A and B are shown apart, each in its own frame.
Chain A
Amino acid sequence: EIVLTQSPGTLSLSPGERATLSCRASQSVGSSYLTWYQQKPGQAPRLLIFGASSRATGIPDRFSGSGSGTDFTLTISRLEPEDFAVYYCQQYGSSPLTFGGGTKVEIK
């Protein structure tokens, strides 16, 4: 199975700052099959980015995804108060579908 390693585990930033989250795969993942989610406490995850770089419906353009092969990045250009949450990457380039361990973006 493909293991996804997210770093850092926790990112402490202030509103207005830029957040860069990494997701590294143990094997190459086709870009069409790399997805990012945001999860807030007590809520289900929300789809942010699919196909490595396409924003889901209603997702603000401060969120962007990039990368290919084994290295993928989620960038939040300027953090808004509602962006402080846990972010997960996920792959389905090969079965089983797997998630990374998550990156928590917290207020500094």
Chain B
Amino acid sequence: QVQLQESGPGLVKPSETLSLTCTVSGGSISSYYWTWIRQPPGKGLEWIGYIYYTGVTNYNPSLKSRVTMSVDTSKKQFSLKLNSVTAADTAVYYCARAQITGDLDFWGQGTLVTVSS
């Protein structure tokens, strides 16, 4: 069974960079689209983007100027960096595995990141 686990700081100061890593276990990192989604408290889901195992990326245009994703296939990890954060970036951040059709079939448990001084 594929499992994903997010890790990273739960508190980030305004204007700084949010950094999260997702570790994949129980399956291959090849041939899938490794995705980040976020959910502000009490609100809906927002797609941040994905990175293919080859390193090809696709970001949400609404966040593209601030997002960088990377992948380390040897460690079976992929990462998210979101710079210049504000309080509006406070959310539960999920990593997930996506099929080519966009179906998100495996999810991490999510990690709450709060932006506050």
Q: What residues of chain A have their CB less than 8 Å away from a CB belonging to chain B?
A: 1, 32-33, 35, 37, 43-47, 50-51, 56, 88, 90-92, 95-102
Contact = CB atoms under 8 A, between A and B. Distances in A.
B45 A45 contact: yes
A35 B108 contact: no
A44 B46 contact: no
Contact of B104 (A45, A91, A102): A45
Contacts of B110: 44
Contacts, number: 60
A97 B47 contact: yes
Interface residues of B, number: 21
B44 A45 contact: no
The secondary structure that dominates the B interface is loop
A47 B61 contact: no
Interface of B: 44-47, 58, 60-62, 94, 96, 98-99, 101-105, 107-110
B102 A51 contact: no
A37 B108 CA distance: 14
Nearest to B64: A96
